[in-house]
Amino acid sequence: MSLLPGKFYLDDFFDDFAPMPRMPRMDMKCDIYEKGGNVHIELDVPGFDKKDIKIDVEDGILTVEATKDEEKEDENKNYYKKERVYGSFKRQFNVGSISEEDINAKFNNGVLEISFPKEEKKETKKFIEIK
């Protein structure tokens, strides 16, 4: 049993030089809520421009995809750490039978806001008579 803490001051400094660097994850975190008869989705997409984001809807699935190309490395820079993530990131949401004309989207300060009318739940359950 050790009475010493697991980490000491500056211990994490040496983690940066580990043989297998940890890759940072880029997730588009979101909040989904209902307000005023509409469903609202707010997605965090920091570091992206409006032109980098594509939204489509097909067969009741709303897809949000953001793509960021990797910057060319400057040979004159001697990097100590490189954490910025590049690539394609995607989230999908089941929105029912909403058409693209009913979907509104706006992008402001790294937050993508999508809203559409709440679909009325239809009773699809059917009972079978037992004979």
Domain boundaries, the chain: 24-72+83-117
More confident site: 2 or 35: 35
State the pTM of this model. Answer: 0.67
Q: Is 24-72+83-117 in CATH node 2.60.40.790?
A: yes
Render pLDDT for 48-90 as a digit per residue (tens, 0 to 9). 889 999 999 999 899 999 988 777 767 788 878 777 767 788 9
Q: Are strands 38-44 and 30-35 parallel, antiparallel or unpaired?
A: antiparallel
Render pLDDT for 17-55 as a digit per residue (tens, 0 to 9). 555 555 445 578 899 999 999 999 999 988 888 999 999
The pLDDT assigned to 1 comes to 43
The pLDDT assigned to 33 comes to 95
Unique residue bearing structure tokens 């997730």: 27
Instruction: Write out the E strands in the chain.
Output: 30-35, 38-44, 53-58, 61-68, 87-94, 104-108, 111-117
Q: Whole-angstrom Cα distance, residue 113 to residue 91?
A: 14
Render pLDDT for 90-128 as a digit per residue (tens, 0 to 9). 999 998 888 889 999 999 999 999 999 988 777 778 888
The pLDDT assigned to 9 comes to 55
The pLDDT assigned to 68 comes to 82
